[in-house]
Amino acid sequence: MRLTESVIREMSREAAKYNAVNLGQGFPDFAAPYAVKEKAIEAIAADHNQYAITWGVKSFRDAIAEKTKRFLGLDVDPESEITVTCGSTEGMIAGMLACIDEGEEVVLFEPFYENYAPDVILSDAKPVHVPLYQTAAGDWYFERDELRAAFNERTKAIIICTPNNPTGKVFTLDEMEFIADLCKEFDALVFTDEIYEHIIYRGRRDDGQMTMATNNPKHVCMAQIDGMQERTIVVNSLSKTYSVTGWRVGYCIAPPEITNAIRKVHDFLTVGAANPLQHAGAFALSLPDKYYNALQKEYQLKRDFIVPVLQDAGFRCGAPEGAYYVMTDISGFGFENDIEFTKYMIREIGVAVVPGSSFYHDKSLGSQKVRFCFCKKDETLQAAAERLEKLKKG
Ligand code: GLN
């Protein structure tokens, strides 16, 4: 077996075992929007309880097309360019199995969300890692010559996640255009994980400190870039935007020929995503702008609360531009590695985190890092902050 167990999921089990505040696995501990839940209940009562069309309930695909037009300005045909999947997790692996052949290469930035490399391996392809570096202020960037050197005639695709898990980086238009040009030059596809598209922060200075007005990152989807929609597989889901990670409803948007292949893989993998939850999803996707603005404001407050708490407790980190994680440097604490530190955090401090090495193929690169998530109730974050005080005394 070439795969290891998910460390992120393991940390949730450890957190429960030691009664630690769980800032490890990224899922909200607050309620999903009432109106969305109500639609799911109604859909079950209305007996949408059998298999849906394998590639998705029509009203949900129509809503995906409408939302994509509304937020990204892209025309997408719900009949031939959308596949509903069991979360973005299935979307990503179904997309890769459909498009990638044995022996091909897939480029991914490192640190990366831990499913991507196994997805590539399950597709019989080879992951090629390109490092993201961090400035002293906490900003993440890549070296353009290193990215170019990762591409060759065997390169089939690159995986992008923006806003990024685990770094919080929001790729700039300029960076995306550079990546797009490489993909055109080497005839490569882009798999883009967009699940944090609505979770973006305002106000961050160049030195990583937070302010009220500067540096307002903007989400750019690769498919928006000239000539890229035809070579981009957009992977998205309801999980993060509507706080329903347990529903497992996601989707892929891709050109018709690729969609055709994805639908076949998807059908044999899972047959389909939960029918009633897709009906509720159609409603969720049509929520007015005020929903998305409120979500942004909520997360902004959480980020602005947690980052100074972490810095104060001795973690080196900048403020993330998007998503709901803070990747921190733990070298100030003098632990041998991230695994030892994480154990100490869960058992002695009472706060669960994810060890940094789980986001790297070369484990030593993450050995002085841990990731916090902050998609939690204010009281959960407050409880974590109180427990982190113990680190200062240690
Ligand atoms: N995306 C979330 C994280 O990175 C949860 C992943 C998962 O366990 N499915 O923590």
Q: Over the stretch 65-120, which tens digit does the pLDDT of each residue have? A: 999 999 999 999 999 999 999 999 999 999 999 999 999 999 999 999 999 999 99
Ligand 1 pocket, residues with Cβ under 6 angstroms:
8-9, 25-26, 113, 165
Nearest CA to ligand 1 atom 8: 9
**Residue 336, pLDDT score:** 96
Q: Which of 8, 23, 165, 324 to mutate to test the pocket of ligand 1 (most atoms within 8 A of CB)?
A: 8
Q: Which of 7, 89, 113 to mutate to test the pocket of ligand 1 (most atoms within 8 A of CB)?
A: 113
Q: Which of 195, 238, 245, 354 to mutate to test the pocket of ligand 1 (most atoms within 8 A of CB)?
A: 245
**Cis preceding-peptide flag for 288 (omega within 30 of 0):** no
pLDDT over threshold 70, residue 204? no
Interval between CA 34 and ligand 1 midpoint (Å): 23
Interval between CA 166 and ligand 1 midpoint (Å): 10
Interval between CA 6 and ligand 1 midpoint (Å): 9
Atom nearest to 25 CA in ligand 1? 10
**Residue 137, pLDDT score:** 79
Interval between CA 346 and ligand 1 midpoint (Å): 18
Mean pLDDT of 284-298: 97
- Strand-strand pairing, 140-141 and 133-134: antiparallel
Q: Where is pLDDT greater, at 242 or 7?
A: 242
Query: What are 325's strand-pairing partners?
Result: 373
Interval between CA 241 and ligand 1 midpoint (Å): 14
Among residues 318, 323, 315, the alpha carbon closest in space to that of 374 is found at 323
What is the CATH T-level fold of the domain 35-287, as seen in this structure?
Aspartate Aminotransferase; domain 2 (3.40.640)
Interval between CA 178 and ligand 1 midpoint (Å): 28
Q: Over the stretch 220-233, which tens digit does the pLDDT of each residue have? A: 999 999 999 999 99
Mean pLDDT of 13-39: 95
**Residue 155, pLDDT score:** 98
CB 259 within 8 A of CB 80: yes
Interval between CA 8 and ligand 1 midpoint (Å): 7
Confidence of residue 302 (pLDDT cuts 50, 70, 90): very high
Q: Over the stretch 242-267, which tens digit does the pLDDT of each residue have? A: 999 999 999 999 999 999 999 999 99
Atom nearest to 89 CA in ligand 1? 9
Q: Over the stretch 379-394, which tens digit does the pLDDT of each residue have? A: 999 999 999 999 987 6
Residue ranges of the chain assigned to CATH 3.40.640.10: 35-287
CATH dotted code for 7-26+290-393: 3.90.1150.10
pLDDT over threshold 50, residue 213? no
Confidence of residue 212 (pLDDT cuts 50, 70, 90): very low
Residue ranges of the chain assigned to CATH 3.90.1150.10: 7-26+290-393
Q: Over the stretch 314-369, which tens digit does the pLDDT of each residue have? A: 999 999 999 999 999 999 999 999 999 999 999 999 999 999 999 999 999 999 99
pLDDT over threshold 90, residue 2? no
Nearest CA to ligand 1 atom 3: 26
Confidence of residue 12 (pLDDT cuts 50, 70, 90): confident
**Cis preceding-peptide flag for 163 (omega within 30 of 0):** yes
Average pLDDT across the chain, whole number:
94
Please provide the DSSP assignment of 66-134 as one string.
HHHHHHH-----TTTSEEEESHHHHHHHHHHHHH--TT-EEEEEES--TTHHHHHHHTT-EEEEEEPEE
**Residue 392, pLDDT score:** 87
Nearest CA to ligand 1 atom 4: 26
pTM for the structure as a whole: 0.94
203: its two tokens: 């106000």
Q: Where is pLDDT greater, at 12 or 27?
A: 27
Atom nearest to 354 CA in ligand 1? 10
- Which residue is listed with tokens 């109500």? 38
**Residue 354, pLDDT score:** 96
Q: Indicate the SS3 state at residue 298.
A: helix
Confidence of residue 11 (pLDDT cuts 50, 70, 90): confident
Nearest CA to ligand 1 atom 5: 26
**Residue 357, pLDDT score:** 95
